Chain A
Amino acid sequence: MNKKTISRLSYVVCGAANAACGQILKGIIFLAIEIAYFVFMIVSGFGRLRGLATLGENVQGMAFNEELGIYEMMAGDNSMLILLSGTVTVVITIAFILFWLFTISSGKAAIKRVEEGKHVNNFLEDVKSLANKNINFLFLSVPVVGLGVFTVMPLIYMILMAFTNYDSNHQPPGNLFDWVGIKNFITLLSTSDRLSSTFWPVLGWTLIWGFAATFSCYFGGMFLAMIINSKGIEFKKVWRTIFVLTMAIPAFISLRVVATMLGEKGIFNVLLQQWGFTSSALPFLSNATWARFSVIIVNFWIGVPVTMLMVSGILMNIPGELYESARIDGASPFMMFRKITFPYMWFVTTPYLISNLIGNFNNFNTIYFLTAGEPLTLNYYKGAGKTDLLVTWLYKLTKDSNDYNLAATIGIIIFVISAIFTLVSFSRSNALKNEEGFS
């Protein structure tokens, strides 16, 4: 048969080209997968995709059963399951399209090799090449499948949810929910109701928190590392270990413990009163301003050792001659920090700082375990408190009030904020450009 015809045929019948070139087993497998996909689509797939458009039509309720002559409960459509199975179908379809593209390129390669008179791998050789030339297929298959099922699919599902009205008033199976377009974004961002008057202050605090937490730990850690690494400090390892202890204790434990220590009758208040610093308990976590300072300080306590360890490694890379000549020129230690250490650090750690900043915007643990977003306030939408970050609010919206659409909308907004900062970081750093530099 004509090569061109076969090549064209393989667009419709997957694996045709491979089979024609002698890779029979490969061709059969390709074809089997294609058939399986179409059978799936015909049996249930198209129905699921149609469900995605409507999100269910029958509300659960009483319906008259003529045979028995009574009203009975009719199970309605479950919008959530319809949305989920629709998402699954979409992901399967995307996977199939990728697979289809792959079969085409595989077929073309086989035809090319036949035309050039080269050896065409049989199935066994193909399997063997997984350990060598095609090792990327072997090594990436597990992560790709894992990410597809447990990251991409849920993400698509949640992103879609941001465009529905799946809130506490539209809970399946009792109720249906439906597409509402970008209404959630508009309510959250621009109308003057409760939600947007919660969103903007929470966003503001998230940004303040992110910058305060990142830079306090950065400079604190740098300061500590410089002291420990400076000349004349004995037992460097012991000092380092003391600070590393806080890092080694799982965060949820140290944060829970510190939270109880900061309570109204917690040990800090007890001691401060015993030591005569104050006559009444201080509202460390119960007053909004105090609580905000408390979380930043506790985060400092936890974050400084991490930066300290990281900076220690970098400090040793700074050429000693720089300091030597600076000292001869009569520079003070502060001058040397300002003119040598800091510029070097800043240059090397900018990407780290940006990713740390994004990490702190999403620093769920510190806030949730310390204050759980409290103190609550009546000015905010239900459940949100004065120390809530966008992420903790998102969590509360899903867990406590079941406003999934709002949670998903906030998730997308967080993504946009993170993306902006990442883009800034990429445009500044040349880490990506230098990727090949070492090889």
Chain B
Amino acid sequence: MNRTVIGLNLKYFIQTIVATVVMFLGLFLPYTKLNDGRVSIITVAGKFVGCVEKSGLTFFVYLTIVFTILSFVLCVTNIVKTTKMGFKIWQLCQIFATVFWTFLLFSSKTILESSALAKGFLNKDLSFGYWIGLVFSYVALVYIMRVTQTNRGYIVLTIMSVIWVFPILWIVLTALREEPGYYVGYFFPKHLTLGNFTKLFAKDSVIPFAKWWLNTFIVAMCACVINTMITLATAYILSRTRFTGRKMFMNFLMIIGLFPGFMSLIAVYNILKGLGINQSLFALIVVGAAGAAMGYHVSKGFFDTIPRAIDEAAIIDGASRLQIFTLVTLPLAKSIVVYQALGAFLGAWSDYIFPSMLFGDKQSSYTVAVGLYWLTDFRRIDGYYTQFAAGAVIVAIPIVILFVWLQRFYVEGLSGSVKG
């Protein structure tokens, strides 16, 4: 076939046709083994017509057949007359065919069992006709996309997105579920409600969630301001000034950074007790701020890239070091400021170990991390699982908004950290 069509890469036309035909043949090869021997998917679909009771998912079978045949027909038309438009439509059809072949992998059991065609069905009972159909639907799709010069990355991205979003979807759905309990045998809730959210904030609630949330917010805001200032100041000094013991100080920070942090938690706790501020939010803020300097690397790497000449010009103009830092360097390093602030906020927001040790059983000063973890204790998990999920959603929402909003800065900081 020596055709050329602008916008199509017909080098792969043959492979496309072969794959489509094989997928089409998959319809007539045995789909599964039923009581009366191996049957093809077409026969199975025929049996459904006679069935009184059938699952709502049965239409997957019909749609698989319809789109596969449609794809085959479009294949034939494209052989007769190859156009860009024809290929686009074929591609769309093939996408649907692929999707439904994939759906069958997950729904065959339900479909076959609810219409009483099979009992104790497992996917290993699916026969080679199905597997050929499934595999070649993907092969055909890939080759069609090659011909239409579409990026094949979409297939991978779609599959990965589904996997990545799945647990998040589960949290959200659980938060909206009316039926309590952790062991439920279905994915989509039977009844939706916002009750889990209101229950968390109700006055008579056993869970002082509003208090926890406020505690966390206070700590996170303080951390956001104080830690960021300390980190940036340290980074600035180490990047811009040269003084005796600077190298030593940096090495020293690196060495203490290599010890696992909570090895010393017990001692920190005792010191706080000695100072009389244990079990308070203040302690949490102080300890967080005390260690903030250790995370100076990223900002220092960034400050290093700001040309010295700017500083020197400012010095000639009579600016003091402090003025240079606040009026020249910081405005130039906006992305790193945001990165550090976001990091500090996130860190404080989701820190669990230290607060849990610090507060012990004093529930009123819990942060959300400690509180929510406490809810997932095996004695409470069943009763509070939906409320836990609701709490999780409430905790996650501000972070998600911040993150999506400030993503650009975060990426800049993150790729900066590699260079530093």
The stretch among B19-27, B34-42, B81-89, B254-262 that forms the contact with chain A is B254-262
Q: Which of A392-410 contact B (CB under 8 A)?
A: 394-395, 398-399, 404, 407-408
With A245-B164, A310-B418 already in contact, the answer to whether A275 and B107 are too (CB < 8 A) is: yes
Q: Who on chain A is nearest to B319 by CB?
A: A132
Determine whether the beta carbon of B271 is less than 8 Å from that of A154: yes
- Write out the residue numbers on chain A whose beta carbons fall within 8 Å of the beta carbon of B156: 227
Determine whether the beta carbon of A250 is less than 8 Å from that of B396: yes
Q: Indicate the member of B163, B167, B249, B392 with the most A CB atoms within 10 Å.
A: B167
Q: In the assembly, what is the distance between CA of A422 and CA of B121, in Å?
A: 54
User: A253 is contacted by which of B241, B372, B417 (Cβ under 8 Å)?
Assistant: B372
- Write out the residue numbers on chain B whose beta carbons fall within 8 Å of the beta carbon of A358: 258
- Write out the residue numbers on chain A whose beta carbons fall within 8 Å of the beta carbon of B271: 84, 149-150, 153-154
User: B260 is contacted by which of A352, A414, A438 (Cβ under 8 Å)?
Assistant: A414
Determine whether the beta carbon of B260 is less than 8 Å from that of A154: no
**Would you call B123 an interface residue if the criterion is a C-beta within 8 Å of the partner chain's C-beta atoms?**
yes
Determine chain A's interface SS by DSSP, over half rule. helix
Determine whether the beta carbon of A233 is less than 8 Å from that of B153: yes
Determine whether the beta carbon of B237 is less than 8 Å from that of A136: yes
The stretch among B63-71, B128-136, B179-187, B202-210 that forms the contact with chain A is B179-187
Determine whether the beta carbon of B109 is less than 8 Å from that of A352: no
Determine whether the beta carbon of A411 is less than 8 Å from that of B293: no
Q: Which of B265-283 contact A (CB under 8 A)?
A: 265-268, 270-271, 274
Determine whether the beta carbon of B258 is less than 8 Å from that of A418: yes
User: B171 is contacted by which of A84, A152, A257, A276 (Cβ under 8 Å)?
Assistant: A257
Q: Who on chain B is nearest to A279 by CB?
A: B122
**Would you call A274 an interface residue if the criterion is a C-beta within 8 Å of the partner chain's C-beta atoms?**
yes
With A241-B404, A309-B411, A364-B353 already in contact, the answer to whether A404 and B369 are too (CB < 8 A) is: no
Q: In the assembly, what is the distance between CA of A261 and CA of B289, in Å?
A: 36
- Write out the residue numbers on chain B whose beta carbons fall within 8 Å of the beta carbon of A230: 151, 153
Q: In the assembly, what is the distance between CA of A250 and CA of B149, in Å?
A: 39
With A139-B237, A312-B411 already in contact, the answer to whether A158 and B258 are too (CB < 8 A) is: no
Q: What 0/1 readout, one digit per residue, does chain B (379-420) give for beta carbons within 8 Å of chain A?
A: 001000100110010011001101110010011101101111
Q: Who on chain A is nearest to B418 by CB?
A: A352
- Write out the residue numbers on chain A whose beta carbons fall within 8 Å of the beta carbon of B349: 250
User: A227 is contacted by which of B153, B274, B294, B308 (Cβ under 8 Å)?
Assistant: B153
Q: In the assembly, what is the distance between CA of A152 and CA of B253, in Å?
A: 10
Q: In the assembly, what is the distance between CA of A247 and CA of B323, in Å?
A: 37
**Would you call B14 an interface residue if the criterion is a C-beta within 8 Å of the partner chain's C-beta atoms?**
no
Determine whether the beta carbon of B268 is less than 8 Å from that of A154: yes
**Would you call B120 an interface residue if the criterion is a C-beta within 8 Å of the partner chain's C-beta atoms?**
yes
With A364-B262, A395-B262 already in contact, the answer to whether A276 and B167 are too (CB < 8 A) is: no
**Would you call A31 an interface residue if the criterion is a C-beta within 8 Å of the partner chain's C-beta atoms?**
no
The stretch among B1-9, B91-99, B190-198, B228-236 that forms the contact with chain A is B228-236
Q: Indicate the member of B167, B267, B325, B388 with the most A CB atoms within 10 Å.
A: B267
Determine whether the beta carbon of A84 is less than 8 Å from that of B109: no
- Write out the residue numbers on chain A whose beta carbons fall within 8 Å of the beta carbon of B243: 136
**Would you call B320 an interface residue if the criterion is a C-beta within 8 Å of the partner chain's C-beta atoms?**
yes
Q: In the assembly, what is the distance between CA of A271 and CA of B376, in Å?
A: 22
The stretch among A34-42, A140-148, A320-328 that forms the contact with chain B is A140-148
Determine whether the beta carbon of B165 is less than 8 Å from that of A245: yes
Determine whether the beta carbon of A239 is less than 8 Å from that of B412: no
Determine whether the beta carbon of A422 is less than 8 Å from that of B254: yes
Q: Who on chain B is nearest to A311 by CB?
A: B415
Nearest chain A CB to B96 CB, angstrom units:
19
Q: In the assembly, what is the distance between CA of A249 and CA of B187, in Å?
A: 21
Q: Which of A139-197 contact B (CB under 8 A)?
A: 139-140, 142-144, 146-147, 149-155, 157-158
Determine whether the beta carbon of A153 is less than 8 Å from that of B419: no
Pairs of residues from A and B, 4 with the lowest C-beta to C-beta distance, nearest first: A313-B415, A146-B290, A276-B109, A250-B350
With A257-B389, A305-B164, A435-B304 given, name 10 new contacts (CB 8 A): A133-B321, A135-B241, A245-B400, A253-B395, A256-B388, A270-B185, A274-B185, A309-B414, A399-B357, A408-B263
15 contacts between A and B (CB under 8 A): A142-B233, A155-B264, A239-B161, A243-B164, A253-B392, A261-B167, A266-B182, A275-B107, A306-B414, A309-B410, A313-B415, A364-B262, A395-B353, A412-B259, A419-B258
